A = this chain, B = another copy of it.
Amino acid sequence: MKPSMVTIEPSGHFCSDCAVRGSAVCASLDAAELREFEHLGRRVHFDAGETVFSEEDITTSFYNVLEGVMRLYKLLPDGRRQIVGFALPGDFLGMNLSGRHNFSADAIGGVTVCQFAKVPFNRFIEDRPHLLRRINELAIRELSQARDHMVLLGRRSADEKVATFLLGWRERLVSLEGASNTVPLPMSRQDIADYLGLTIETVSRTFTKLERRGAIEIIHGGISLLDPVKVETLAAP
């Protein structure tokens, strides 16, 4: 978990052939703006397990995920961890009011981000309300997801949590990898537990239970939805 050297250097990459061109914050920019925007962001790579930023760090950059998966989490003083979300390509990280990050972010597996220094980025936004509107949309979408997750954390049983997670994760992957009943789970069982407000043992047992019922098959690096309807039934109420 050594902190990576955050070198911001010319990337030699172009927004126009960026993987997240259409979905990310950049979706709101026209071709001319994109060329200018290109100079603000730098591609940075993080290895598995590296921390991209930590809660309470002064915010110096914003990040657009280009590749890989990140876990976003908060820690209690005694070490308990709550994962508040997983970031995927197209997600935009780093917005806050306090000037400090309000959660930490680790790479799960290798991650590539487009990193923007805060000051020039804010200056760029300044007279581009459509970009601000795009950022606002992303915030509102996240807020909606956060509320859904509150319902899950506060009111759902372990079975429902796991079933809901599997379906939701599959859904999120659709736009990236297409629809499939084979659901890769790049995060560890501990990550899933900390996302769902459970212990690793409960997650493991619930996976096994789902498998024994014939709803899923636990495969290497993920699960396969053998009976999506059954999983939906478990997740539903």
Q: Is A137 interfacial (CB-CB < 8 Å)?
A: yes
Across-interface contacts of A96 in B (CB, < 8 A): 140, 144
Closest to A141 in B: B97
Which residues 59-98 of A sit at the B interface, judged by CB distance below 8 A? 74, 76-78, 80-82, 84, 95-98
- Interface residues in A, total, Cβ within 8 A: 41
Across-interface contacts of A143 in B (CB, < 8 A): 95, 139, 142-143, 146
Taken together, the copies of this chain in the complex come to 2
Q: Is A237 interfacial (CB-CB < 8 Å)?
A: yes
Judging by beta carbons under 8 Å apart, are B136 and A82 in contact? no
Which of A's residues lie within 8 Å of B, judged by CB? 74, 76-78, 80-82, 84, 95-98, 102-103, 129, 132-133, 135-137, 139-144, 146-151, 153-156, 194, 196-197, 236-237
Closest to A135 in B: B136
Judging by beta carbons under 8 Å apart, are B197 and A155 in contact? yes
Across-interface contacts of A156 in B (CB, < 8 A): 76
Complex: A237 Cα to B132 Cα, angstroms: 37
